[in-house]
Amino acid sequence: MVEQNELIMSKKKTLLFSFIPFIYLLLLLFQKDLAMLGDLGRHLKLGEVIVTCHCVPQTNLFSYTNPNFPIVNHEWLSEVIFYLTTVVFGLNGLLVLKMIIIVATSVLLYFVALKKGSLFWVTIFSLLCLTVFSTRFFVLPELFSYLFLSLFIFLIEKYKTSRKSNLLWFLPALEVLWVNMHIYFIIGIGMYGLFLLEEWLRHKKLDKQFFLVGASLIIGIFCNPSFAKGALLPFTIFHNYGLSVEENFSPFDVFNNLNTTSTVAYTLVLQVVVFEILVGLFLIGFFVIKQWGNIFS
């Protein structure tokens, strides 16, 4: 009876400890200054245009001097979702949608991490990672990238433990959605490449289905309104970017760009410092433990 009570108390403490990151996450999400950016107006208007005309504009509709300038609209599906959300639920619906996506992303990654580490260390590093993540808690198409990224990790890790091949076939379907929602879709290809490398390092061979899934992923990125231009956009977007954007700065160079008028000085310093600490800890741990067979993780 005593042992049973101790077991129940231990489970309660574990459950309570596991809620710490999510309480912290909710506190971050309820900050008013992390709600919406000026970019949102453009996304909502484009979503309205797409729904109205049943087409994806291929020119810059917001240019007065060069209205026929060709563009690749790589976020059109996100814009449609944002617009329809406001039509049905109003602007507050976007805040709820944001919270759902961010919480889902965090939950998926948290439970994957718990399979690989102790509750204590996973919780500690979750708090640090959420601090970095919080700088991007805006209603923007990149929210969907975070969700897709976590789904890729979750499905691949589930496959590694279960060896059920049907799990990998969800990845191409997700990639087709991803390429139409945000430019980070290229990360999915890179993640799958790391998974293949890990499989080869562990087993010194690769199953035929891995190549079929990989080929489907590559084909999937061409399933967008701009076809090849959309698929190659991550490699060409900076050819005619036109302006300097703070979130595009390197996390190791960002301090060289600080000035008294920059929002970086007020919103990114903490996140950048924590990120650099995490990178340092990762490199130390990786090269000390030398777990080359876990290169994906």
**N- to C-terminal Cα separation, the chain:** 41
Mean pLDDT, the chain, integer: 85
With 0-12 / 13-18 / 19 or more C-beta atoms within 10 angstroms meaning exposed / middle / buried, residue 231 is buried
Q: List the single range of 6-15, 43-52, 141-150, 155-164 with lowest mean pLDDT.
A: 6-15
297 Cβ neighbours under 8 A, 6+ residues apart: 116, 157, 198, 291
Out of 109-118, 130-139, 268-277, which region has the weakest mean confidence (pLDDT)? 268-277
Sign of torsion over alpha carbons 157, 290, 113, 274: negative
User: Above 80 in pLDDT, residue 7?
Assistant: no
Among 191, 198, 203, 201, smallest CA distance to 154 is for: 191
Write down the pLDDT at residue 177.
98
Q: What values do phi and psi take at 226, rounded to 5? A: -100, 5
| Alpha-carbon distance values, 142 to 70, 73, 107, 150, 178 (Å) | 22, 14, 18, 13, 10
Instruction: Give the pLDDT of residue 226.
Output: 94
Gap between the Cα atoms of 149 and 37, Å rounded: 23
Locate tokens 């005309």: which residue?
53
Model pLDDT, residue 51: 97
